[in-house]
Structure formats: C-alpha cells, structure tokens
Amino acid sequence: MMLQAIIFTTGGAILALELLASRIMTPYFGVSLFIWSGILSITLVSLALGYWWGGRLAAGRNGHALSAEKLASLFTLMPAVAAIAIVIACLAYPYLFYQLARIDLVVGAFIACLALLFVPLFATSAMNPLLVALVLRQNAAKGAPADAGAGNVFFVSTIGSVAGVIVTAFGLIPYLSNFVSTLLVAVVLAALPLAVLVRSPLPLHERRRLISVATVALIAALTLLAAADFYTGRMWPAQYNNATWTPEKTYRSMFGTIKIVRSEARDDGAFQRMYFQDGLIQNMVDSRNKSMSLYTYALEALAHSYRPGLKKALVLGNGAGMVPMRLAAQGIAVTTVDIDPAALRAARELFGFDPGAVKTLQADARTVLRDCDGSYDVVVVDLFHGDGVPDYLVTRDMFRDLKSCLAAGGIAVFNTFADLDAPRPYAHFLTTLRTELPYMVLYRPDYGMATHVNSFVVAAAQPLPAPAGADLSHTPARLYEMLAAMLRQPQALNQQLLRDGRVISDANNPVAADMASSQLVNRRHVVEALPAAFFVN
C-alpha cells in the first residue's frame, strides 16, 4: 500500500507542477497558442524520457538486471531529486524568466519550461517503470506469477494526477502564491523518501545516502518556503513610469492573480494605484480613485455620443469598476459582469466600487448574453484575459448573442488593441463583428510612433447616428487633449481595415495562428515596459 500511495502522490505532483507552471509562466510569456504548445510539448517530452530512462535503469547494464535492493533505492531517491530541482527552479525563475521573456517569448517559454519542469517530471515519471520492475523482482523471489501489475501502477499514478489537478486548482491556486504552492509540492516530494525509510519493509541499498539526500531536499524546501515572502519581496520596491512602486494587496482565484501595487506618496500625500492582472495593467487610479486610464473615459464618451440619453447599460468586464461606477453616477441603470470573484473583491475594497449602486453579476459574459432580455441601450465590452480577448469572446456566435441584448437603436462599444504593423488579426475581429453588427465606426488615439494601440469600436445593427458629442469636463487634464482629438476623428470601416479578414465562429476558428501572433506582440510590449517584480506570483 505504501508503494501505491507514493506513486499516487508523485502522479499528483506531476500534474500539480504542470498546472502551476502555466500560472507561473503566464505573466512572463502569456497564454497564446505558441506558449501552450511549448508547455505541453516539454511536459510530454519530460515524461517520455523519464519513462524510457526508468526502464533502462530497471533493465540494468550488459544484461545484468538490478537487484531489488538497488531498484528500491532508486525508486526512493527520485522524489528527493525532484524536490531539489524544484527548489533550485524557484530560486531562479523570478529573475530568469523575465530575462528569457525579453529575449524571445516562444523560445524563452520553451527554456523556462525546461528549467521549471524537466528534472522533476523526468525523475518522478521514471518511478513508474522502476516500480514495475521492483514488483516483478519481488514476485519472482516469492515464486508468485511473473506479473508486475504495470497496468495497476499506471492506473494509480494517473488517478493521482487527477487528484493533483483538483487539489492544485481548488486548494492551492485560489489561496496561495504560485511560489509557495510550488514549494509545497517540493516539500511533499522530499518527505516521501523519509516515509519509505521509516515505514517501508523494502530492502534498501545505501540507506545513508538516501537519508542524506532526502534530508537535504526537505530542509531546502522548508527553508525556502518559510522565507518565500522575504525572497520574492527582495525585488520590491520597483521603478516604473517615474514612480516607485510597492505591492499593496494580492487577490487570487482560479481565474488568475490580481496584484494591486501602489506608488510612493508625494509630499502632498497623493499617490497612484495600479490594478495589475496576469501581466497586464488593467487600470490606474489616483489617490481619489479617479481613473488615469484613457480607455475608461473613451468608453463613456462614445456611449453618450452615439446613444444620448441612455438609460440602461451592460458592462462586460468589471475590472476596477471605473466605467460602471461613472455610468451609475449619472443615473444610468448599470449591470456589470465579471467571471472572476477576485476582481469584484479588489474593485470593492480598493477602488471605490459600490455593489449597491450597480447590479453586479459574477458570471461568464457569454452566459449573460444568452439570457439577457434585449433592453440595453449600450453594451460596453471590455473583456481581456492574458494577452487579449479570449477566442470564444470574438466569435460570430458571441456577437449574435450580444445583438440580441440591445434595445432598438442600441449600440455596442468595444475596447480593443490593434497592432498597426500587423493588421490582419484585427481585420478578423472587425470582419466577424460586421456579420452581426454591420454599422461600425473606429476610433484610435494618437500615440505618436506607437504601433500597438487602443482601438475603440462602436457597432450597431441599425445605421449609427452622427455623434452628438460628450461632456469631457471630468477627464484628467493630461488625457483631455488626446481624447478630444480622437473623438474628432472617427474612422469609417474601409477595405484596408478589413483586408484579409475572416469570420470566426464557435465551431471554426481559421485564424488561431494570426490571433496568437497578435497576442505575442501585446505580451512583448508589456515585458519590455515593466520591471521584473511585477510578474512574480
């Protein structure tokens, strides 16, 4: 039973590490198709090589099979080796991954995955064939049937992997940092050899060496775990945008990590607060909780310009809650939607969001759109996760559901990003949107030489009226001129903007590679602009 318990636990550790690796790597490398290809391929290669190597060890050399004692010792040693590798990776990745991401996102992700996963997965997967060989030796010594129970070994390991996913997703990620969660896996792995040494009747070869390695692994993992906050905290304070920043509070959930960072207060007590999620700056506010982000004022202004006198609005993507609160303050009945409960907590606790003033739904945007009653004057779409808008939120099916939510004469206002150097991915979005909301106009602020820019789209099922203008008096002075200039220069859709655009549906996404390339551009800009401390945990 103990051997089965160990293989169950190491199976859980394998999938726990893979899941945690995706969370650790997302802020640095993003969540694009290319990045996930790297994570999955490195994981599978590590497992395959571990199975192969474990089989080679079990077979011995020159036709001389290893004794049961040596097989048991190798089997017992592997979790300690994996634990030591995890500790070393945790010491390195807060600094190493940032540099890898700045060199090349795709190649860097492959190298990062190797550094984080290869040795632990290689060592723990080698335990499966070692255990098969060990059971075979034991059965042969007892005169029992020569059945090693390979199917049973891999069954138990796989069930352990399922348990590892569940424990990590529901027990670690929502409550602990990625750094701490990974070290907890190392602690569990390091403790396994000691459990075998204390309780198992297995004859073990070189017990002293096993005790020494396992003890070193456990002490190293526990020491770094105890010092986790100190070790990662050494990266702060960080310099960005002519200010000194320190972390204020972190919110975790199964949907991501929200990090709130705050700038050092000036002599007059004023400071800035940033809402930072999985490597993206979602919003910045001043010490009065007044937004310092152009998009919040642009979305509000466009809603009023094309739907004067609007009474009812739906906001998809709450974030810090700036847009729904601004609309609600004007007497508009606002419903806001966010899938992440941590986002709603952060908005309420630190950004002045009042759930009593806004109807708040913690739900997936697609679910809300399918069930809405077609009474909204405006639907504001501000949905971002990872490097951009998830694929399932830019399909024709999604836009059809959105159209059904609009009242007669209603409009949708989108906050998006476009890469002016590679316009084809954005053309896919515009082409798909036009199939359901054919009357569209585009606004882009002038960022000078920047080529990766905000793009705001107003879309409707009926012809759009001439913009009526909007009150910009509440806009911060540093944003006023840029916003006013943008509103004076709407861009009607033309063949250049739609060139090579293809329609995306729930059933068929023929442009996944284009969308992934666009996401890499966004991630590259983020990594180049922000200091390393922002991306840890």
Band of pLDDT at residue 384, cut at 50, 70 and 90: confident
Is residue 447 classed as helix, strand or coil in its secondary structure? Answer: coil
pLDDT at 219 (0 to 100): 97
How many CA atoms lie within 13 Å of 335's alpha carbon, on the beta-carbon side? 17
Neighbours of 438 (CB within 10 A): 13
387-399 pLDDT, tens digit per residue, is 667 777 889 999 9
Please compute the mean of the pLDDT values over residues 43-67 and round it to a whole number: 85
CA dihedral 36→37→40→44, nearest 10 degrees, is -170
Alpha helix segments (H runs only) across 168-278? 178-199, 207-226, 228-233
479-517 pLDDT, tens digit per residue, is 999 999 999 999 888 888 888 899 999 898 888 887 778
176-213 pLDDT, tens digit per residue, is 999 999 999 999 999 999 988 887 666 777 788 889 99
pTM summary value:
0.88
Contact in structure between 204 and 73 (CB atoms under 8 Å): yes
Alpha helix segments (H runs only) across 104-206? 105-113, 119-142, 150-167, 178-199
Is residue 240 classed as helix, strand or coil in its secondary structure? Answer: strand
The domain 291-535: what is its CATH number?
3.40.50.150
Contact in structure between 145 and 107 (CB atoms under 8 Å): no
How far, in whole angstroms, is CA 102 from its chain's centroid?
Answer: 18
- Reference 235, options 19, 91, 346; nearest CA is 91
- Reference 500, options 511, 512, 508; nearest CA is 511
314-353 pLDDT, tens digit per residue, is 999 998 999 999 999 999 999 999 999 999 999 999 999 9
pLDDT at 281 (0 to 100): 86
- Which letter does DSSP use for residue 338 in this model? -
Instruction: Go through the chain and tell me how many residues it has.
Output: 537
pLDDT at 388 (0 to 100): 67
pLDDT at 414 (0 to 100): 95
Is the predicted pLDDT of residue 143 greater than 70, yes or no? Answer: no
Domain residue spans of the chain: 2-233, 238-281, 291-535
pLDDT at 390 (0 to 100): 74
Band of pLDDT at residue 144, cut at 50, 70 and 90: low
Q: Work out the end-to-end distance of the chain between its first and last CA atoms, rounded to an integer number of angstroms.
A: 36
